[in-house]
Amino acid sequence: MARRWTNDLTWNDVTPKSHWLNRRQIIAGALGAAGAASIGGPLAAQVDNDNLQPNTFEEITTYNNFYEFGTSKEDPARYAGQLTTQPWSIQVDGMVDNPGDYALADLIDRLDVEERIYRFRCVEAWSMVIPWNGIELKDILERVGVQEGAKYVAFETLVRPSEMPGVRRAVLDWPYREGLRLDEAMHPLTIMATGIYGETIPNQNGAPIRLVVPWKYGFKSIKSIVRITLTDEEPPTSWNMANGREYGFYSNVNPNVDHPRWSQASERVIGGGLFAQRQPTLMFNGYENEVASLYEGMDLSEFY
Ligand SMILES: Nc1nc2c(c(=O)[nH]1)N[C@H]1C(S)=C(S)[C@@H](COP(=O)(O)O)O[C@H]1N2
Ligand SMILES: [Mo]
């Protein structure tokens, strides 16, 4: 049987909510087909994940980084509820055939929403396993028409001080900005998530639409996106602007390159309990077979 994008992770790695259990079969089946079609063959399991701890909806939605709502892990769940996510529009500009201010619904209308169970690794050295629902970014970019010569995609998050208490302080240079090289953006693992566990994505996780790039540190996965720009220059990105010595543009998960202030060799699994052992961090967060070729010729022992 063909394996899914989730490669070594299965639905058993994610704590099912009661209603979720009933849909498991259908979803797993649908994903098997989609995964096989987009990768063109079976994926080999890379590691033995028998010890992988599942993450609950509760864990995924109460331990967050979303500085627009405050800098503690609890702030997003506490304050993001007040964010208005409807209507929502996304400005698409730069080197595209069809620039414009798109209603979100129009931008993603009729594109395939897939289930993707991905590891999620924050640069702070904690991790989770999250069952996203999302659309391949590639599908959205094809819809707006990427022009020849475009090399990067830049993203911006909403700034709305009336609903985002965190942006009233200059913790970062708002808006939160992120970017990908075009080939990273077009990679089938890169998704724009609109759901978790089959439910509309909660505000604290980046409603109504956020990027998910599973082989990169979590800060690359920008939330609540209102602007997408195609450009031929590497775009400025928030954490790199804030501290370029500690956060590079690429920020691929790499256990062999430590953060200047802590090791990246292992990670604390959220939900593992107070005395849980840290688990080893995997090269490209476990997606090495799928993405290593994007970085051929780059010295991966270097900080980027
Ligand atoms: N706009 C915005 N996007 C953001 C952040 C943020 O503060 N603002 N934090 C990033 C960081 S550091 C991480 S680890 C992830 C956390 O995603 P999660 O809360 O859904 O787990 O979101 C990323 N995207
Ligand atoms: Mo993070």
Residue pLDDT, tens place only, 108-159? 999 999 999 999 999 999 999 999 999 999 999 999 999 999 999 999 999 9
- pLDDT per position as a tens digit, 210-258: 999 999 999 999 999 999 999 999 999 999 999 999 999 999 999 999 9
Which among 194, 219, 259 is the best mutation to test ligand 1's pocket, defined by most ligand atoms within 8 Å of the CB? 219
- Secondary structure (DSSP) of 56-97: -HHHHHHS---GGG-SSTTHHHHHGGG---SS-EEEEEESBS
- pLDDT per position as a tens digit, 14-24: 544 433 433 33
pLDDT for 277 equals 86
Q: How far apart are CA 69 and CA 167, in angstroms?
A: 7
Residue closest to 272 by CA, chosen among 145, 130, 126: 126
Inform me whether the pLDDT recorded for 36 exceeds 50: no
CA of 128 to the centre of ligand 1 (A): 13
Q: Show the ligand 1 pocket: residues with CB < 6 angstroms.
A: 64-68, 120, 122, 157, 176, 205-206, 218-219, 221-224
pLDDT for 41 equals 31
Which residues, 6 or more positions from 40, have their beta carbon under 8 angstroms from its beta carbon? Answer: none
pLDDT for 270 equals 95
Inform me whether the pLDDT recorded for 183 exceeds 50: yes
Confidence of residue 275 (pLDDT cuts 50, 70, 90): confident
Q: How far apart are CA 167 and CA 82, in angstroms?
A: 14
Inform me whether the pLDDT recorded for 45 exceeds 80: no
Fold annotation for 11-302: Sulfite Oxidase; Chain A, domain 2 (3.90.420)
Q: How far apart are CA 223 and CA 230, in angstroms?
A: 18
Q: How far apart are CA 56 and CA 14, in angstroms?
A: 7
pLDDT for 39 equals 36
Which pair of tokens denotes residue 296?
């051929």
Inform me whether the pLDDT recorded for 285 exceeds 90: yes
Q: How far apart are CA 195 and CA 38, in angstroms?
A: 21
Whether 16 and 27 have beta carbons less than 8 Å apart is answered as no
User: Minimum mean pLDDT among 38-52, 82-96, 111-125: which range?
Assistant: 38-52
Which among 65, 67, 239 is the best mutation to test ligand 1's pocket, defined by most ligand atoms within 8 Å of the CB? 65
- Residues pairing with 200 in the sheet: 195
